[in-house]
Amino acid sequence: MIGRGTPAAARDHGSSERRPFHSVLTGFVALVAVVAIVLPLALTGGSGPHHSPLPAAGSSPRWAVPPSAVRWASVEYPITGGCGSDPVQVQQASVLHPPGGPQLAIVLVRCRNAAELPASSLFAYDGAASPTRPLLRATLLQASQDEIVAGVLLARGSTVTLPVAGYSTPDVPQCCPDVHATFAWAWAGGHFERVR
């Protein structure tokens, strides 16, 4: 009888000795789980997994779409009189970032009109809500048959320059402007100023 009872006693004794170990292990696992939840919350200010990251350094909240992603050829421009059935041609688009100022897109456009020399308009944008909806900041040059773009638009530092050509008198043929100048605009005090 002792031989049969001894293993049973040993099994009961072993079971009673293992219970405290299981309890300690269960408590330890629970503690680790609590720490795993509480610690990240403390480090993120209690915002949990839905915490929104801060904007990247140097990014502009107005440029939901960066200038390089804007489809400038598909934008509706406030050209005086519009282009009618003529398509709009984007001649040039540059980015200007004045010191201490906003990031600006400078866009030169014109109506394609085979009947006459196309006049150009120059616009400045300081943001974009979508690839076809930039936010107009200023109109620098509105289309005029008296002024024709005669060179490359330059946007550097705080200044935009644009070579133009015109006519000294109404008798000068439209094909052959005889007056040349360079227009310039400078960003100062939160807006553009014509400086020449």
Instruction: For the chain, give every domain's residue range.
Output: 2-50, 67-194
pTM above 0.75, yes or no: no
Q: What share of the chain is helix, strand, coil (3-state, %, to 5)?
A: 25, 35, 40
Residue 80: predicted pLDDT: 84
pLDDT, tens digit, 9 for 90 and up, residues 112-169: 875 567 789 999 999 999 999 999 999 999 988 788 899 999 999 999 999 999 999 9
Q: Rounded to an integer, what distance in angstroms lies between the CA atom of residue 162 and that of residue 184?
A: 6
Residue 85: predicted pLDDT: 80
Residue 34: predicted pLDDT: 39
Q: Rounded to an integer, what distance in angstroms lies between the CA atom of residue 144 and that of residue 154?
A: 20
120 touches 149 (CB < 8 A): yes
Residue 63: HSE in the Cβ half-sphere, 13 Å Cα cutoff: 18
Q: Rounded to an integer, what distance in angstroms lies between the CA atom of residue 79 and that of residue 193?
A: 20
Residue 140 DSSP code: E
Residue 154 DSSP code: E
Residue 115: predicted pLDDT: 58
Listed as ranges, residues in the chain with pLDDT below 70 are 1-61, 114-116
Give the chain's radius of gyration (CA, Å). Answer: 36
First vs last C-alpha separation in the chain = 117
Residue 89: predicted pLDDT: 92
